[in-house]
A = this chain, B = another copy of it.
Amino acid sequence: MSPHRPIDYGEASGRARAVFDDIKRTRKVEDVNNFWKYLAHDPATLERTWASVKEIMAPGALDALTKEMLYLAVSVTNGCGYCIASHGAAARKAGMSEAMFGELMAVVGMANETNRLANGYRVPVDPAFDS
């Protein structure tokens, strides 16, 4: 079976269904996103990925909104179209306003620019940063 099609709840294995159920319960949603329906082709990866995401994205020293914005910043840097769409939606759901999105994008753009300026000018690390 091609892995490039979604597996819906009805045709999912028991192991995949258990993950789908936990995602729906944890996020209080009616259905899971395509990402999880595609990962269901490999139940071991589905389980491990969801367990990690659930643990990592729970509020801790950083709140849920900050975590979603960091996720979005990485996805924009990598140019992952799916992830930009899904984590943009998740960040908005967690409270990201359009003004916050605008500032996030400005920082991400600037960081990508100055990362290359530092590379190209071959700037050595200041001793103060290593202490």
Copy tally for this chain in the complex stands at 6
Number of chain A interface residues as a range: 35 or more
Which residues on B sit within 8 Å (CB–CB) of A55? 44, 48
Q: Which residues of A contact B (CB under 8 A)?
A: 1, 3-4, 33-35, 38-39, 41-42, 44-45, 48-49, 52-53, 55-57, 60-62, 66-67, 69-89, 97-126, 128-130
Top-9 shortest CB links A-B? A42-B102, A74-B111, A61-B99, A113-B113, A80-B115, A76-B120, A85-B129, A109-B113, A38-B121
Partner of A103, one of B61, B76, B85: B61
Asked if residues A34 and B126 are in contact (CB atoms below 8 Å), the reply is: yes
Asked if residues B49 and A114 are in contact (CB atoms below 8 Å), the reply is: yes
Which residues on B sit within 8 Å (CB–CB) of A108? 70, 74, 116, 120
Which residues on B sit within 8 Å (CB–CB) of A49? 109, 113-114, 117
Which residues on B sit within 8 Å (CB–CB) of A38? 121-123
Chain A interface main SS type: helix
Asked if residues A105 and B34 are in contact (CB atoms below 8 Å), the reply is: no
CB distance from A56 to the nearest CB of B (A): 5
Alpha-carbon distance A109/B41, docked complex (angstroms): 15
